[in-house]
Structures are given as C-alpha cells and as structure tokens.
Homo-oligomer: A and B are copies of this chain.
Amino acid sequence: MELRNQTGAGVVDCKQALDEANGDMEKAVEILRKKGAAKAAKKSAERTASEGIIATYLHHNKKLAAMVEVQCETDFVGRNEDFLAFANDMAMQVAAMNPEYVSPENVPAEVLEKQRRLFREELAGENKPEDIKAKIAEGKLNKWFSEVCLTKQQLFKDDDKTVEQCMVEISAKTGEKIAISRFARFEMAPAPKTC
C-alpha cells in the first residue's frame, strides 16, 4: 500500500515490482518508474509513428531538386492517388517556392524574435496607437510566414489556396491527418559567365 501511495501504480504492478525487488521498497519504486517511462515512450511512439511517402522533384535542367516527406496514418492512404499527387506537388512547391521552414511552429524562437523586433522597429517612428501597431506587426509577421513557411505559402500550382488549405482538403477526402515532416532543396548557383 505504501508503494501504491508513493507511485500511484496499480496493485498488480506494485506486487510484481516488490517481488522483483525482493521486498526492497526503493528498488521497487525504481522498477515501477522504469516500467512507466517505457510504457509512456511506447505510447508516444505509437502516437507519432505514421505511414507516408517521400516525393522527389528534379528540374529539367538538373540544377534544382527537392525532396519532401509527407505523412498520413495508414499505408492505405499512403497509396491514395490524391495523397501521392499532393506529395509530388509539395516536392515541386519546395523547389519552386524555396521555403525555409515547414510551418510557423518550426521557426526557431530566436529567428522569430528577430523578425518581431524588426517589424516593431519599422513601426517605431509612426504616430499610431500601440494596439494598431501591434496589429500591423502581426500582419507583417503573417505575411513573412506566407513567404518562408511551406504550409503558409500559396500553392504554386493553384494560387487560390495555401498549402495548408490543400492539406485540409486531402485530409477531408482521405479521412486521415496529413502532415509534412521535412524537406530538403538543392539549387546549383549559376556559373559566372567567362566570355
């Protein structure tokens, strides 16, 4: 009972842990702690694990390429035509639109802080109420997100919607959560003319 109070673990787990520890209370707590941590890790792995595919894009001049990893929940959707088309569109999107981050959540805190400071400084001299300035700064930040964050960019193939809106559509069609986990992009600098 003392072990149960101390750890909040179930009766069976406590009994097993005490047996395993030969009655040593401190050892039993340690055993329960490890078991709990392992369980939590397992659950978290199950929750974050996902199916999905990698798509690549290579520009015809072979000087520009991108790859992107797009996740879904089952391998069934991973073979879905709309999902595959979306992944291919994303590889081309990354190549063409050169995002720096997947989404605003992926912008490092110090980069975000630097941008906020920049926008505040731009407005510092203007004779406007503070709450208006805050709103304008917020608008500038969202504009910036729509340039550097893949999910906030306008779709290259259809600039009536953003990547994020397109993801919601695919999600609705397939009934699964769709996520872009990472991308990479290579572009060769043009060689200087030597004429």
List the interface of chain A (C-beta within 8 A of B): 45-46, 49-58, 62-67, 69, 75, 78, 182, 184, 186, 188-189, 191-192, 194
- What DSSP secondary structure best describes chain A's contact surface? strand
Name the B residues within 8 Å of A58 (CB-CB): 54-56, 67
Report whether B67 and A184 are in contact in the complex, using a CB–CB cutoff of 8 Å. yes
Q: Can you list 14 A-B contacts with CB-CB less than 8 angstroms, sorted by A residue number?
A: A45-B192, A46-B194, A50-B191, A53-B62, A53-B63, A54-B64, A56-B56, A56-B58, A65-B67, A67-B67, A67-B186, A69-B188, A182-B186, A184-B186
**CB of A105 to closest CB in B, whole Å:** 20
Name the B residues within 8 Å of A50 (CB-CB): 191
**CB of A179 to closest CB in B, whole Å:** 12
Given contacts A55-B62, A58-B54, A58-B56, contact A189 B49 (CB under 8 A): yes
5 A-B pairs with least C-beta separation: A53-B62, A184-B184, A54-B65, A56-B56, A56-B58
